[in-house]
């Protein structure tokens, strides 16, 4: 968009935002809820550093947060349908055959015990075990940009056999315990089923090897998966014959088979 005046750029943004809001209306049964959802989106895009219900309401000119709460808690609409809509919208602009699907998690630091999936668990957001929710996300990355196309809250195992807690947090009965690697595998399957073009998948050691590796091999996709020293490996066709855990295999491989690659500049510049 080089050479476009600021006024033109702002108008383009406004037109696109209006189109997105119009598209979202199909998710809601009543126009008033759709309007509240549009106002909620405006609040998310607004300049407030903390996006509380009261702050969003104030930005929208409401007397209280009840309209926003109605969208999030009292209205019936399909969150997965919105997920699919976001994925389709992102792929219209970002899709390329060489894209990378990046799967990772993040923690949402919170106090209390009532929110879905709350518990004391490790999160990289704080670098320690703390009270938080964990969300697993899939990001689509290409040379045209990047965007989230999938998401799922992790439900810790200790929630499964606590029905009163599940009821209070409105966790549906159909939701059971699913490990983070299983969540990642489901996200990859949804991306494949939707025809999202990508050449690679990247994850860290939490998701590791095993089911995800086999899933990607069958789909003909490349992958960069973080591995633990104790993960089991066996060679495949046209590769040197090796078998065993990662650490002993790595130790006996000759230096000439290794290739040093950069994952990008860090806070101190390019890696040495």
- Note whether 69 and 129 are same-domain residues: no
- Note whether 7 and 67 are same-domain residues: yes
Q: Which of 27, 42, 77 is a domain's end point?
A: 77
The answer to whether residues 204 and 226 touch, using CB atoms and an 8 Å cutoff, is yes
pTM: 0.85
Is 269 a domain residue? no
For residue range 211-226, what is the model confidence (pLDDT) as tens digits? 898 899 999 999 998 8
Burial (CB < 10 A; 0-12, 13-18, 19+), residue 61, is exposed
Is 262 a domain residue? no
Task: Find the domain containing 41 and state its range.
Answer: 1-77
- Note whether 50 and 85 are same-domain residues: no
Q: Which of 10, 45, 77 is a domain's end point?
A: 77
Is 236 a domain residue? no
Percent of the chain with pLDDT over 70: 97
Taking the C-alpha atoms of residue 194 and residue 186, their distance in angstroms, rounded to an integer, is 12
- Note whether 142 and 173 are same-domain residues: yes
For residue range 151-198, what is the model confidence (pLDDT) as tens digits? 999 999 989 888 888 888 888 888 889 999 999 999 999 999 999 999
- Note whether 125 and 155 are same-domain residues: yes
Is 270 a domain residue? no
- Note whether 136 and 122 are same-domain residues: yes
Q: Mean pLDDT of all residues in the chain? A: 88
Q: For the residues 22-39, what does the mean pLDDT come to? A: 90
- Note whether 111 and 54 are same-domain residues: no
Q: For the residues 11-22, what does the mean pLDDT come to? A: 93
Single out the residue of 91, 93, 109 nearest to residue 150, CA to CA.
91
For residue range 81-138, what is the model confidence (pLDDT) as tens digits? 999 999 999 999 999 999 999 999 999 998 888 888 999 999 888 889 999 999 999 9
The answer to whether residues 159 and 166 touch, using CB atoms and an 8 Å cutoff, is yes
Is 263 a domain residue? no
Is 272 a domain residue? no
Q: Which pLDDT value is given to residue 268?
A: 74
- Note whether 123 and 25 are same-domain residues: no
Beta strands in 49-114 (DSSP E): 100-109
């Amino acid at each position: 968009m080089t050479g476009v005046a600021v006024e033109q750029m702002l108008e383009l943004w406004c037109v696109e935002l209006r189109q997105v809001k119009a598209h979202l209306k199909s998710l809601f049964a009543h126009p008033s809820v759709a309007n509240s959802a549009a106002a909620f989106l405006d609040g998310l895009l607004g300049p407030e550093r903390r996006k509380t219900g009261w702050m969003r309401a104030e930005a929208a000119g409401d007397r209280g947060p009840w309209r926003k709460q109605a969208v999030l808690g009292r209205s019936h609409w399909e969150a997965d349908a919105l997920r699919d809509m976001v994925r389709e919208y992102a792929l219209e602009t970002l899709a390329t055959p060489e894209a990378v699907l990046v799967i990772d998690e993040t923690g949402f630091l919170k106090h209390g015990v009532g929110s879905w999936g709350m518990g004391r668990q490790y999160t990289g957001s704080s670098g320690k075990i703390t009270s938080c929710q964990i969300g697993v996300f899939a990001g689509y990355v290409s040379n045209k940009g990047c965007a989230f196309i999938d998401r799922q809250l992790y439900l810790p195992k200790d929630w499964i056999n606590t029905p009163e807690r599940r009821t209070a947090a409105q966790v549906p009965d159909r939701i059971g315990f699913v490990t983070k690697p299983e969540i990642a595998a489901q996200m990859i399957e949804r991306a494949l089923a939707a025809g999202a073009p990508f050449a690679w998948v990247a994850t860290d050691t939490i998701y590791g090897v095993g089911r995800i590796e086999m899933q990607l091999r069958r789909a003909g996709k490349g992958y960069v998966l973080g591995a633990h020293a104790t993960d089991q490996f066996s060679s495949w066709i046209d590769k040197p014959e090796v078998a065993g855990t990662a650490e002993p295999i790595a130790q006996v491989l000759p230096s000439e088979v290794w290739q040093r690659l950069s994952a990008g500049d860090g806070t101190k510049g390019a890696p040495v």
